[in-house]
Amino acid sequence: MHEMSIAMAVVGQVEEAARAGAASAVRRVELQVGELAGVVPDSLAFCFELACAGTVLEGAELVTRSVTASARCADCAGAWAVGMPPDLCCPVCGRATEVELLTGRELRILNVTWEDAPAADSCREPISEEA
């Protein structure tokens, strides 16, 4: 199940950013997931919850934004939505010699929402200037 390795990688990257940003807790992570990325959203959500346990992300919401797959024919410049299973034969000219996948393989972190750590109370005496 590669969803667990994806979830662990996402948690690791978000943890690193949260530490650098002095976050006290991560509340929400938004991922962009292409239809051809080979990711099962329910499995990813389950694995994400497990990977977050004991981290600053514990209890964070995972939101996935699906990206429809699309392709373009280099021969005629025709573009089309690619379904499942992927049909990489151009519906305009019928060729499949030079087809470029435009979208559908994405797997990226879009946005992270976290809470900032509370500012430390200052216990120092006010600085006074002597003349």
Tell me if 115 sits within 8 A of 24, measured CB to CB: yes
Q: Following DSSP, what letter does each residue of 9-63 receive, concatenated?
A: HHHHHHHHHHHHTTEEEEEEEEEEEETTS---HHHHHHHHHHHHTTSTTTT-EEE
In degrees, rounded to 5, the angle at the alpha carbon of residue 75 between the alpha carbons of residues 74 and 79 is 55
- Is 52 annotated as contributing to ligand binding? no
- Is 89 annotated as contributing to ligand binding? no
Tell me if 53 sits within 8 A of 19, measured CB to CB: no
- Is 90 annotated as contributing to ligand binding? yes
Residue whose pair of structure tokens reads 């950013």 in the numeric block: 17
Residue 82, φ and ψ in degrees, nearest 5 = -100, 125
- Write out the binding residues for Ni(2+): 2
Binding residue positions: 2, 73, 76, 90, 93
Per the annotation, where are the binding residues for Zn(2+)?
73, 76, 90, 93
